[in-house]
């Protein structure tokens, strides 16, 4: 049996999944997959996924290319080519 993790999140009244997310955020990792953060809580892949989900949920058609996620996505695609 593994020893329990003792840190500032141990005794919070939240689920173990939320504690894991909080630990990931404190380490600068994506709260979904654990990759390095590109934006506030997410890696580039999940930031783009979240952005597109919110666009469809809210019914927006135009893309605001001045947003950070668009700039990071374009830079990543430029590096991949």
Region 33-43: mean pLDDT is 95
Residue 11 lies in a domain: no
Q: How confident is the model at residue 63 (pLDDT cuts 50, 70, 90)?
A: confident
Residue 6 lies in a domain: no
Residue 25 lies in a domain: yes
Residue 38 lies in a domain: yes
Region 54-61: mean pLDDT is 92
Residue 62 lies in a domain: yes
Residue 81: the pLDDT is 62
22-31, 37-46, 58-67: which range is least confident on average? 58-67
Residue 7 lies in a domain: no
Give the chain's domain count: 1
Nearest Cα neighbor of 39 from 18, 58, 79, 48 is 48
| CA-atom Rg of the chain in angstroms | 16
Domain holding 39, by residue range, is 16-80
In this prediction the pTM is 0.81
How many angstroms separate the CA atoms of 35 and 52, rounded?
A: 20
Tokens, residue 78? 């430029």
Residue 58 lies in a domain: yes
For residue 47, pLDDT beyond 90: yes
How many angstroms separate the CA atoms of 20 and 55, rounded?
A: 28
């Amino acid at each position: 049996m593994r020893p329990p993790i003792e840190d500032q999140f141990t005794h919070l009244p939240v689920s173990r999944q939320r504690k894991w997310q909080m630990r990931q955020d404190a380490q600068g990792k994506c709260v979904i997959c654990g990759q390095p953060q590109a934006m506030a809580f997410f890696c580039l892949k999940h930031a783009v996924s979240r952005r597109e989900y919110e666009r469809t949920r809210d019914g927006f058609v135009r893309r605001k290319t001045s947003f950070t996620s668009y700039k990071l996505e374009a830079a990543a695609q430029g590096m991949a080519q």
